Amino acid sequence: MKVILASESPRRIKLLKRIVKSFLVIPSGLDENQIAEKDPVVFALKAAEAKARAVAAKNPEAVVIAADTVVTIDGHILGKPSNRAEAERMLELLSGRTHQVVTAVVLYNQQEDRLLSSKETSRVTFRPLTPDDIRAYLDRNTYQDKAGAYAIQEIKDLFLEKLEGDYNNVVGLPVRLLRRLFNKFQETKATVEISGFLLPEAAGLARSQGQTFEVPGAYPGDLVEISYLPAGKTAIKARLLEIITPGPARQQAACPHFGLCGGCSFQDLVYPEQLRQKENYLFEIIKQHFPSSYRYLEIERILPSPAHYFYRNKMEFSFGQSGGEIFLGLREKTRPNHGHHNKRVVPLEICHLSTPLTEKIFRAVSRRATETGLPVFDLESKKGFFRHLVIREGKRTGELMLLLVTTSQAELPTEEFAATILEAVPELASFWWVENDRIADVVAFEKTHLVYGREAIEEMLQGFRFRIYPGSFFQTNPLAAETVYALIQEEARRLRTQSALGLYCGSGAIEICLSKAAAEVVGVDWDPANIRTANENLAINSVQNVRFQESSVEEALPEISRGSFDLLVIDPPRAGLSPRSLKQIIGLRIPALIYVSCNPATLARDLKVLADSGYKVSRLTPVDFFPHTGHLEVVAFLSL
């Protein structure tokens, strides 16, 4: 492909080399004064297109890349200054204020009459400038060909107070945006029928001319138009352009935000089909690790979640900001060829995974946050205040806990927040302010302040009460968890269990429920907070035959002698068991083992090791803990 950059700007040439190895440089020679347009964005788009068309007229076979950058403040466009006096006036206007830098990018091929365009906007704030500051910069004589009379790379240490958005955009070429456009320009279109489904990626599968296309958002039975980047691989990620004929399992998504945020994967797929696809996924995973015997493994029908919507007892939402207004939402859905770089926050009115109360909570918290005048934390600049809102809810008790997570860069007006939330949501039982200064986009409990109500809320499972603190580990879907705990109890009764060992016990829910079916139960977890909560749960339920031990699994197992337990229950993190702990478990030769996993891939891996050591996998019971997502819980029953 012949590529031409319609600019001789050294900055744009250098940035384009990050994307295209070989290209020609042919300036357009366009006189931008010919473009009579006052709107900055429209002006930039028209100027970039005019540049691209001018160069393409003599190079019709080439893909021409053109860009135009404008600086705008108070609705006015600041172009390239014609002289020093005009440059000085521009810098005086920008002094101590925030302005916008808009770069329009156009890709054009005249031969195919194909044009793609988009724009990137950044906000730049200058510190107050003295006349000496301005004169010293202008004396460099580098302002002449710069929109707004400056180059960001020259003034960032002198004038810049804050930059919001893409730095390269202000330099003159938004690389991330251009890479997406360039990839899109090279894509080929095709019409395919979806015949399969891929989990946990939640992508439809289509096979055509010896290639397999992975199409997020497409389902078996759909006839769709896709676009993709030709590649030498047999499996190609494609974009869904249009659903020509929908398959029989499609439905209208309940959530108005579905498809935008990354909370759900397939809310528009009827629930029985979701379950069927998860069963197929489990079969395929097991088949990979047990190729000759998987057909003889008893894999039971998947057990559905008791609730299909509003089932999660914990959700983390992010703060976003637009036009001075603060809102709450989730990070946008990752799309093919778009990368994962600081995905924007999609504003939500309600979340159908969390609680119906999100509609009131979002509105109240967003309004109060906006009224403070404090900014949202920016992942690039690492500055700002509001970060996350965590919602925890007892599904059987209805008790609500909110955790407002900020940086420590300001003081939260706690009384005002509590009053606003209580007025909107009287169900509030616990409200915490959490300070977190970590760079990563995660919720960390560095410093906590109880603002209102109790330290913990409670949940009910199988007649037991469980306390949930801000950092407590508790099953995300408690109603479905009851189904799993009942399976464990049933197996323990069938085995006439006398002594059971629970690894990765968290706050003790499995072990306390198991106390009904086993004479003695011991739970192990490395987290002191989990063990404290587990012991508290023992006390409030007056359970006498369970005790908990604070230890890592790898440190606890060597202290256990053979014959101490006749049932082992394992509920590890998504990464599964470490090779060391697997070896230790095998060495104990506990006759019965129940493995609860939220990751079928690591479960199958570990089951293969256990099976090779003498354990027999009796049966697998999948349980849908996570409707509308690609995730699945599985309970495996093993014996020696």
Q: Which residues are part of the catalytic machinery?
A: 598
For 146, phi then psi, to 5°, come to -115, 125
Residue type, 416: E
* Pairing state between β 616-623 and 592-597: unpaired
Could you give the 3-state DSSP secondary structure of residue 406?
Answer: strand
Helical (H) or strand (E) element with 523 = strand 520-525
Query: What is the C-alpha to C-alpha distance for residues 237 and 216, in angstroms, rounded to an integer?
Result: 8
Could you give the 3-state DSSP secondary structure of residue 136?
Answer: helix
CB count within 10 Å of CB 85 equals 10
Residue 455 is given by DSSP the state S
Q: What is the largest CA-CA distance in the chain?
A: 92
Residue 415, burial from CB neighbour count under 10 angstroms (0-12, 13-18, 19+): exposed
- Are 330 and 345 in contact by the 8 Å Cβ rule? The answer is yes
80 CB-side CA count, 13 A: 11
Span between the terminal Cα atoms of the chain, in Å = 62
- Are 56 and 64 in contact by the 8 Å Cβ rule? The answer is yes
235's CB contacts (< 8 A; 6+ apart) are 211, 212, 213, 214
3-state SS string for 45-111: HHHHHHHHHHHHCCCCCCEEEEEEEEEEECCEEECCCCCHHHHHHHHHHHCCCEEEEEEEEEEEECC
Query: What is the C-alpha to C-alpha distance for residues 550 and 150, in angstroms, rounded to an integer?
Result: 60
Q: Cα torsion at 612, 613, 618, 620 (round to 10°)? A: -60
Helical (H) or strand (E) element with 389 = strand 386-393
The residue behind tokens 């297109």 is 49
For 109, phi then psi, to 5°, come to -125, 115
Closest by CA to 435, choosing from 377, 474, 362, 507, is 377
Q: What angle do CA 133, 136, 137 make, to 5 degrees?
A: 85
Residue 597, burial from CB neighbour count under 10 angstroms (0-12, 13-18, 19+): buried
CB count within 10 Å of CB 155 equals 22
295 to 283, 290, 568: CA distances (angstroms):
9, 9, 26
Query: What is the C-alpha to C-alpha distance for residues 51 and 30, in angstroms, rounded to an integer?
Result: 6
